[in-house]
């Protein structure tokens, strides 16, 4: 059986996987889920092919930490009744030590319980009322995550822009490897954009709908991929997840972006 030679994310040469019970090398080969395992809702079919790609242990570990941070924040900003996130909200609450029974707290042990309590504390400290944000701060509200049409008072949570950009690029690199068996490497790069739907020119949607191929990965993730007619290595991606968050990304030559 052949082993993938490079990490999809950082392109480093992979070394053999770590043996059971040993600490893996940073370059050890692992399987990385294109769409994080914990981001799938409970109503995901058991036999779903959850895309995985070759990744080094370092990238897998670092991206896993980013995914945990994002999940704990973004899921609390969504409509928890939507089928695309069934069960995820409950898992996040437990991960933040919210609503645990006394038996569950004992099973976690003091160290794990303390770690979860600290995560909850950091999250609570980042909460701010929406009506207290100034005009510049409101411009940084993430597309698809509010503000909502409701008479009730709304609150905001903070997450790092570099986290969501890193995760979006990871998804695009993983999708491109799964769909086209391609590593994205120089001179090509991934350019990620988060925009409000109304700000995307109609011409873009017409091109996408005409040339894109669609993929549904369970109830939570939908991917559209379109290639340029005159340059098949130039690719447009639209990735929707949880019915709210939309990633727009281009795989293009780096020098073209530098001149735009």
Closest CA to 39 of 10, 4, 9, 63: 63
Co-location of 165 and 44 in the same domain? yes
Q: What is the mean pLDDT of each run of 10 residues along the chain (260 residues)?
A: 79 91 88 97 95 97 96 91 91 94 93 95 93 90 84 91 97 98 96 82 70 94 92 94 92 69
Question: Which of 186, 220, 242 finishes a domain?
Answer: 186
Question: Which of 157, 186, 215 finishes a domain?
Answer: 186
How far is it, in rounded angstroms, from Cα 166 to Cα 36? 13
Q: How many CA atoms lie within 13 A of 198 on its CB side?
A: 1
Q: If you compute the radius of gyration of the chain from its CA atoms, what whole number of angstroms results? A: 20
Co-location of 41 and 90 in the same domain? yes
pLDDT in tens, 158-214: 999 999 999 999 999 999 999 999 999 999 999 999 987 777 666 666 777 778 999
Count up the domains in the chain and report the number: 2
* Predicted local distance difference test score (pLDDT) of residue 22: 81
Domain extent for 254: 187-258
Co-location of 4 and 110 in the same domain? yes
How far is it, in rounded angstroms, from Cα 171 to Cα 241? 11
C-alpha distances in Å from residue 184, one per residue of 66, 152, 159, 252 = 21, 45, 27, 9
Q: 3 by DSSP, 3-state: which?
A: coil
* Predicted local distance difference test score (pLDDT) of residue 256: 55
Co-location of 244 and 228 in the same domain? yes
Strands lying side by side in the sheet with 221-227: 188-193, 245-253, 235-241, 221-227, 213-217
* Predicted local distance difference test score (pLDDT) of residue 211: 84
Is the pTM value of this prediction over 0.95? no
Encoding tokens for residue 97? 């030590």
Co-location of 182 and 193 in the same domain? no
* Predicted local distance difference test score (pLDDT) of residue 96: 95
| Contact partners, residue 173, CB within 8 Å, separation at least 6 | 8, 9, 53, 184, 190
Residue 168: strand pairing partners: none
* Predicted local distance difference test score (pLDDT) of residue 81: 86
Co-location of 61 and 100 in the same domain? yes
Co-location of 116 and 242 in the same domain? no
**Count of other CB atoms within 10 angstroms of residue 53:** 21
Co-location of 202 and 113 in the same domain? no
Question: Which of 142, 159, 186 finishes a domain?
Answer: 186
How far is it, in rounded angstroms, from Cα 190 to Cα 171? 11
Co-location of 171 and 199 in the same domain? no
Cβ contact 154:130 at 8 Å: yes
Cβ contact 192:168 at 8 Å: yes
How far is it, in rounded angstroms, from Cα 115 to Cα 141? 28
Co-location of 63 and 164 in the same domain? yes
Co-location of 2 and 64 in the same domain? yes
Q: At what angle do helices 110-125 and 57-74 cross, to 10 degrees?
A: 60
Co-location of 104 and 78 in the same domain? yes
* Predicted local distance difference test score (pLDDT) of residue 1: 45
């Amino acid at each position: 059986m052949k082993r993938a030679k490079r990490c999809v994310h950082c392109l480093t040469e992979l070394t053999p996987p770590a043996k059971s019970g040993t600490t893996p090398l940073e370059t050890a080969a692992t399987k990385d889920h294109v769409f994080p395992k914990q981001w799938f809702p409970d109503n995901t079919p058991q036999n779903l092919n959850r895309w995985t790609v070759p990744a080094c242990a370092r990238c897998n570990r670092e991206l896993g930490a980013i995914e945990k941070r994002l999940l704990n924040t973004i899921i609390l900003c969504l409509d928890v009744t939507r089928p695309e996130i069934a069960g995820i909200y409950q898992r996040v609450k437990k991960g933040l030590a919210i609503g645990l029974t006394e038996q569950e707290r004992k099973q976690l042990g003091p160290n794990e319980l303390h770690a979860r309590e600290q995560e909850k504390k950091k999250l609570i400290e980042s909460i701010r009322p929406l009506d207290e944000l100034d005009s510049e701060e409101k411009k940084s509200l993430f597309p698809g995550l509010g503000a909502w049409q409701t008479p009730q008072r709304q609150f905001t949570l903070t997450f790092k822009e570099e986290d969501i950009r890193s995760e979006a690029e990871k998804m695009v690199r993983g999708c491109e490897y799964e769909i086209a068996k391609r590593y994205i490497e120089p001179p090509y790069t991934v350019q990620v954009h988060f925009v409000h739907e109304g700000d995307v020119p109609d011409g873009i949607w017409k091109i996408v709908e005409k040339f894109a191929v669609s993929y549904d990965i369970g109830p939570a993730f939908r991917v559209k991929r379109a290639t340029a007619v005159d340059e098949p290595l130039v690719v447009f991606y639209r990735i929707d997840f949880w019915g709210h968050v939309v990633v727009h990304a281009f795989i293009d030559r780096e020098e073209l972006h530098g001149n735009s």
